């Protein structure tokens, strides 16, 4: 029964016999899947199943919305589990597609994008929200976004599919753009350096590339990385400690725009505070042994 309930939560609905490995044993001991579910109602957390159904419905809305850009799949050729999902969550295929298309076309409304960015900022474990302008998140949180923003990001990847290695994603609220940013040392350095920025304009269907370090732009440091990661990142605790130490120094230049270049920060730390950075720690500039 526990295994059956877990399978219900995985699917967001009651599994059919071929979707549950122990269905024969269940039938012998309990009866039909519906009978088993009725027995579970008194013991299981039905709200958890409702949440699973909601999440699965949203996943399908995103899927069918992005399918509008590809060759349409004929319903009769779809796998049986997908057909069952459609019936359980939408009633029929026509309704599923209609809801997905409505959600897709709603992305033209900046106010909706604004609301969804606010919602995402509240729900995600880490993000930076620039009011009514943009939302910045780590690429690992894309699938945790509300469905409209997942579709928004999916539309952008229809224009630019080379997203491997992208660290940060910036959703522009009013301009219909999405920016992908790749950093050197994002996973290993307290101040990663911007190496490549790709700006995708959904309205004009254009893609612009900006090369930092090897092109016309100098590498740009990313300060306060701890605001964009959570405890699932290996360096989270070290990054938090580093950012707090840097914040305690109250360096005015760090409050201005993107902050100083890494070279200028190094000079400021040495000249005004007698410090130098090694890894995630600060040391006295005169000594490479004792930490500050």
pLDDT tens readout for residues 18-77: 898 888 888 888 888 788 888 887 777 889 999 999 999 999 999 999 888 776 767 888
pLDDT score for 9: 94
Whether residues 116 and 214 fall in one domain? yes
- Residue 290 placed within a domain: no
Whether residues 15 and 74 fall in one domain? yes
Whether residues 126 and 192 fall in one domain? yes
CB-based contact 24:18 (threshold 8 Å): no
Last residue within a domain, chosen from 221, 250, 272:
221
pLDDT tens-digit map of 198-240 = 999 988 889 999 998 776 788 899 999 999 999 999 999 999 9
pTM: 0.85
Give CA–CA dist 192/262, Å, rounded: 10
Whether residues 139 and 202 fall in one domain? yes
Whether residues 101 and 132 fall in one domain? no
Give CA–CA dist 189/220, Å, rounded: 14
Domain membership of residue 250 as a residue range = 229-284
Last residue within a domain, chosen from 56, 73, 106:
106
Beta-carbon contacts of 163 under 8 Å, excluding residues fewer than 6 positions away, are 139, 157, 180
- Residue 82 placed within a domain: yes
pLDDT tens-digit map of 110-166 = 899 999 999 999 999 999 999 889 999 999 999 999 999 999 999 988 888 888 899
Whether residues 25 and 51 fall in one domain? yes
Give CA–CA dist 186/188, Å, rounded: 6
Whether residues 202 and 259 fall in one domain? no
Whether residues 113 and 210 fall in one domain? yes
Q: What single DSSP character describes residue 92?
A: S
> The tokens of 4 are what?
């059956």
Last residue within a domain, chosen from 221, 242, 257:
221
Whether residues 148 and 216 fall in one domain? yes
Number of folded domains that form the chain: 3
pLDDT tens-digit map of 229-277 = 999 999 999 999 999 999 999 998 898 778 899 999 999 999 999 999 9
Assess whether pLDDT exceeds 90 at residue 182: yes
pLDDT score for 215: 67
> The tokens of 27 are what?
């039938």
Whether residues 47 and 128 fall in one domain? no
- Residue 291 placed within a domain: no
Give CA–CA dist 64/139, Å, rounded: 22
CB-based contact 254:214 (threshold 8 Å): no
- Residue 86 placed within a domain: yes
Whether residues 210 and 277 fall in one domain? no
Beta-carbon contacts of 130 under 8 Å, excluding residues fewer than 6 positions away, are 136
Whether residues 117 and 217 fall in one domain? yes
**Count of other CB atoms within 10 angstroms of residue 52:** 16
């Amino acid at each position: 029964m526990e295994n059956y309930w877990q399978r219900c939560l995985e699917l967001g609905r009651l599994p059919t016999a071929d979707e549950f490995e122990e269905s024969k044993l269940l039938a012998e001991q309990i009866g039909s899947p519906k009978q088993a579910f009725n027995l579970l109602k008194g013991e299981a957390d039905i709200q958890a199943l409702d949440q699973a159904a909601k999440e699965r419905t949203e996943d399908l809305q995103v899927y069918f919305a992005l399918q509008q850009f590809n060759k349409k799949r004929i319903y009769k050729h779809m796998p049986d589990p997908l057909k069952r999902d459609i019936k359980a969550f939408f009633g029929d295929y026509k309704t599923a597609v209609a809801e997905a298309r409505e959600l897709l076309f709603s992305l033209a409304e900046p106010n909706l994008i604004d609301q969804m960015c606010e919602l995402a900022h509240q729900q995600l474990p880490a993000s930076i929200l620039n009011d009514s302008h943009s939302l910045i998140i780590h690429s690992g949180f894309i699938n945790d976004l509300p469905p409209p923003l997942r579709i928004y990001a999916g539309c952008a990847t229809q224009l630019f599919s080379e997203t491997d290695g992208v660290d940060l994603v910036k959703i522009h609220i009013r301009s219909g753009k999405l920016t992908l940013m790749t950093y050197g040392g994002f996973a290993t350095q307290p101040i990663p350096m911007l190496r490549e920025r790709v700006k995708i304009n959904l309205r004009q269907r254009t893609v612009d590339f900006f090369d930092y370090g090897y092109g016309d732009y100098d590498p740009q440091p990313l300060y306060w990385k701890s605001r964009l990661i959570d405890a699932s990142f290996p360096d989270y605790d070290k990054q938090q400690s580093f950012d707090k130490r840097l914040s305690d120094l109250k360096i005015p230049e760090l409050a201005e725009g993107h902050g100083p270049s890494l070279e200028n920060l190094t000079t400021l730390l040495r000249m005004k505070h007698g410090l130098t950075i090694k890894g995630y720690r600060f040391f006295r500039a005169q000594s490479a042994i004792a930490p500050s």
